[in-house]
Structure 1
Amino acid sequence: MKKIVIISTFVLFSNFIFAQGCSDAGICTINHAFQTDEKELKNIVEVATIFGAGETDVTYISPYISYTRKFNEKFAVTTKVTFSSANGNLGTSADFGDAFIIGNYTFKEKNNKKWSALAGWKIPFTNSNRKINDLSIPLEYQSSLGTLDLFLGTNLKYKKWDFNTTVQIPISNNNKNSYFKEFSNSSDFPTTNLFQRKSDALVRATYSIKTKNEKFTFKPNVLFIYHLGEDTYQNVFGNRKNIKGSDGLTINGNLITTYNFNKKNSLELSLATPFLIRDIRPDGLTRKFVAGLIYKISF
């Protein structure tokens, strides 16, 4: 067991040094909604702070708070509100990001296999056009993509393994971003004027390792995220243009370490970094690495 943990940690930190970016519009983090069956208590509150280092020297601090209510053994609902502060060469931008509401239904376990399904929404608080000193800024500095998104997913739990797949579909676009690379002092970011983003599909595999006293749980996991088309923007002439290379596959590695103080309180450290990236990620969701600290209270 120690060898597995050491190897997973080494691989992740090695990629922190060499990785070029990461992409997550919410689809990577909603897997907590699949995990409500692990708690006997009916309510779970999470308070978290996420630190991210992006490309072009942009750093992020993104706290969130979530509440999960388990109504019975089969059905639970999770709500979450996010905030994000981005700091870089263009300045600092901070605002509320999105609200999430996710419902999870767990089916009866058969032959050590337990299936569950989720459906939910991501609701933006902004139209992704926040400015610094009255100047338009790229999506890297925005706290939300400004889209109303639908999540649909399923999870299979088999012994120590979890396999889940989820799709994130933009249903309504309220993105009013007005950033033009041609009129900016920086050449680091692509034009995203009136940006429109395509859907994502995710497949994740997770293996759980517990110590004998069950105080520590280690969850190395790998995520395959496929962006299902090229994103678009509107140029100065009012024509919509595809952003070449914005579709394709991202592969992320993630190591989650949880310490259980007791039945009601736990602390979780999550470290993530990409192994493979898309050619261009105009949505601004580029990360060299992400570290999250999450405190959970159950009652």
Structure 2
Amino acid sequence: MRRLIPFCFLASISGYVLSQGCSDAGFCTMGAMKPDQNYSKRIAIKLRSVEFNFYRGTSTLTPIIYASTVDFTLGINDYSSFQVKVPYMWIDGNLGKNAGVGDISLSYTRLLKATEKWNLSGTLGAKVPTNDSNEKVNSELTGGMDSPLHMYYQTSLGSYDAVAGVSAISRNWLFATGIQIALTENNNQFAWSGFPNYPDQEYLRKYNRGPELQRGIDVMLRVERNWRFTNFNFSLGALPIWRITKDEAINPDTGNREKLPGTTGMALSILGSFGYHFDVNNSVKIIQGIKITDRDFNPDGLTRNEVLSISYVYKF
């Protein structure tokens, strides 16, 4: 009966509980910045874990984003590990559908200092694009033309990103901060004119344009309080993400490359998680949250209104 508890819990909430999770490009789940980390004094000298994650998120408009991710964490020595995340994404909305392998995350994490109560860890990493984020759709709405989809519908951000972060972890608390810098622009060419037969042109213009977008710099802070028991744990936390520099893109009206107003500011989420451990090797967890604030202008398609994440973790 004890082993049935997590499945009953997941079944009871998965039908209706959705919320805002990491609304950035995914760097808040890399290495030292991951949520719900166990406190330990060193990293095992072997493959530490494989995590299978399912994610469903609703955007500020009609697209619904699904992703299934395989997350490998490999111990290199007593104090270092290497993480690889590979997602497969599929998106469905009123402009069309798209599916494919998402951007690959690579990160190296090292335990910098361990005391009797706290661990301090650091992470360096990168996001590698799997396409140029200019996938197209051909439908009645496009008038039979191949029209680029908005960034909400793209499986890749189309840019190479650099990531760094640090965390301090105790048995009950997690504090983490990180930075993500887009090193290149993408090739997205979404335009309102590409959907001449869309029935509500005023609504269509709510899809913010940003041709050949280069995202600004993101800085995140994670504060998490965890309660741990023999077989289960739960946590509450806050995740503010600041875009501290403006996005840059082609102005479709002038053809000039410009800094985009309204693209800086904070996106704040309140998060909660629940985990159940069958034994030392097998566990399940869910992460959910509530969006509090967001940026005014979002041509990158990263904003989520509602998110639910469910994972199975196997530790070696």
* TM-score strictly above 0.5: yes
Q: Residue 36 of structure 1: CA displacement?
A: 7.2
What residue number does 1:171 align with? Answer: 183
Cα offsets for 1:126-159 (capped at 9, x unmatched): 1000011121111010111111111111111234
| Aligned-pair CA distance for 1:40 | 5.2
Correspondence for 2:310: 293
Is the Cα–Cα contact under 8 Å of residues 148 and 194 in structure 2 kept in the other structure?
no
The match for 2:236 among 213, 216, 220 is: 220
Map of 1:206 onto structure 2: 224
- Cα distance in structure 2, aligned partners of 1:159 and 1:262: 19
- Pick the aligned partner of 1:92 from 97, 114, 127: 97
Correspondent of 1:68 among 73, 76, 88: 73
Please say if residues 180 and 191 of structure 1, whose CA atoms lie closer than 8 Å, have aligned partners that are also in contact.
yes
Task: Give the aligned residue type for 1:143.
Answer: T
C-alpha change, 1:57 and 1:66, in structure 2 (3 Å) is same
Is the CA contact 2:18–2:289 (under 8 Å) kept in the aligned structure 1? no
Report if aligned partners of 1:149, 1:168 keep a CA contact under 8 Å in 2. yes
**Worse overlay, 193-202 or 176-185:** 176-185
Deviation at 1:53, TM superposition (A): 1.1
Q: Please list every run of at least 4 consecutive aligned residues from structure 1 whose deviation after the TM superposition is greater than 4 angstroms.
A: 13-16, 36-41
Q: Tell me what 1:147 maps to.
A: 159
- Which shifted more, 136-145 or 24-33? 24-33
The CA deviation at 1:62 is 0.7
Answer yes or no: is the 8 Å Cα contact 1:79–1:101 preserved in 2.
yes
Question: Could you tell me whether the CA contact under 8 Å between 1:258 and 1:266 is conserved in 2?
Answer: yes
Is residue 2:142 matched to residue 1:125?
no
Task: Indicate the RMSD between aligned Cα atoms, in angstroms.
Answer: 2.3
Which residue pairs with 2:143 in the alignment? none
Shift of residue 204, structure 1, vs aligned partner: 0.7
Shift of 1:274: 1.4
Q: Match of 1:276, as an amino acid?
A: T
Secondary structure at 1:145 match in 2 = coil
Q: Quote the residue 1:47 is aligned against.
A: 52
Amino acid at match of 2:209: T
Shift of 1:111: 5.1
Partner letter of residue 228 of structure 1? Answer: I
**2 CA distance for matches of 1:42 and 1:34?**
21
**Which is further off, 58-67 or 241-250?**
241-250
1:292/1:144 CA distance change after superposition, 3 Å:
same
Does structure 1 residue 28 correspond to structure 2 residue 28? yes
- Per the alignment, do residues 47 and 268 of structure 1 end up closer, same or farther by CA in structure 2, a change over 3 Å counting? same
Distance 1:168 1:79 in 2: 17
- Judge conservation of contact 1:33–1:102 (CA < 8 Å) in 2: no
**1:7 corresponds to which residue?**
none
When residues 243 and 181 of structure 1 are mapped into structure 2, their CA distance, relative to the original with a 3 A threshold, is: farther
Shift of 1:284: 0.4
User: Per the alignment, in what secondary structure is the counterpart of residue 140 of structure 1?
Assistant: helix
Aligned residue number for residue 276 of structure 2: 259
Task: Go from structure 1 to structure 2 and tell me whether the alpha carbon gap of 1:33 and 1:249 turns closer, same or farther (over 3 Å shift).
Answer: closer
**Structure 1: distance between partners of 2:37 and 2:74:** 12
The alpha-carbon distance between structure 1 residues 268 and 41, as it changes in their structure 2 partners (threshold 3 A), is farther
- For residues 129 and 143 of structure 1, do their structure 2 counterparts lie closer, same or farther at Cα, with a shift above 3 Å needed? same
C-alpha offsets along residues 237-265 of structure 1, whole Å, 9 cap, x if unaligned?
A: 43013322111111111111111011001
C-alpha displacement of 1:227: 0.3
3-state SS of paired residue (1:257):
strand
- Which residue identity does 2:244 align to in structure 1? L
Tell me if 1:279 matches 2:291.
no
Structure 2 alignment gaps of length 5 or more:
1-15, 139-145, 199-203
Counterpart in 2 of 1:195? 213
Instruction: Measure, in 1, the Cα distance between the counterparts of 2:50 and 2:271.
Output: 22
Measured after TM superposition, the shift of residue 272 of structure 1 is 2.6
- Give the drift of 1:232: 2.3
2-structure distance, mates of 1:108, 1:226? 27
Verify the 8 A CA contact 1:34 1:116 in the aligned structure 2. Answer: no
Amino acid paired to 2:231:
K
